[in-house]
Amino acid sequence: MKENLDPNKPYGQGDATFQAAGGEAGIRRLVDRFYDLMSTQPEYATIWSWHPDDPELSRDKLARFLCGWTGGPKRYSEKYGSIRIPAAHAHLDVTHAEKNQWLSCMKQALEDLDYPEDFRTYLINALTVPAESIRLTASARAGRLDPP
């Protein structure tokens, strides 16, 4: 993960990331853009197909998760309880392709909402950690070697 070099924007410390995302409203906008892109762009068709016909629950869960994960209020646990990221995605067969689709879609959503480049870079690098954990868990469960 790249370290943020701007001391005025200490992403990853306290609620700095949450605030840089625009607080809860900003995270909701980001999640809405993310799901709007996923549902309409052919390059995200595989990961979109994993969602229910009504993705509102998925939108709500991701927005609530990101609130707490970025240092803001723990909205996910308030409504849904605790979460273990790899276990929550255990039903999915995530390979490098799907992991990269998800990260690419989030990157596009961040760009579309015109977040500063240093914030976009930080957030994608940070999100790569749980995304890779999900992929590794899926690979181990499937008994396959899934090299980079």
Task: Decide if 113 contacts 33 (C-beta within 8 A).
Answer: yes
Q: What is the pLDDT of residue 6?
A: 52
Q: What is the pLDDT of residue 145?
A: 67
Q: What is the pLDDT of residue 3?
A: 40
Torsion, Cα 139 142 147 148, to 10 degrees, reads -40
Fill in the DSSP letter of residue 70: T
Count of helix runs (H) and strand runs (E) in the chain: 8, 0
What are the residue ranges in the chain where pLDDT is below 50?
A: 1-5
Q: What is the pLDDT of residue 9?
A: 64
Output b/e per residue, 40-64; b: 16+ Cβ within 10 A.
eeeebebbbeeeeeeeeeebbbbbb
pTM, entire model: 0.88
Q: What is the pLDDT of residue 4?
A: 40
Which pLDDT tens digit goes with each residue over 6-16?
A: 556 689 999 99
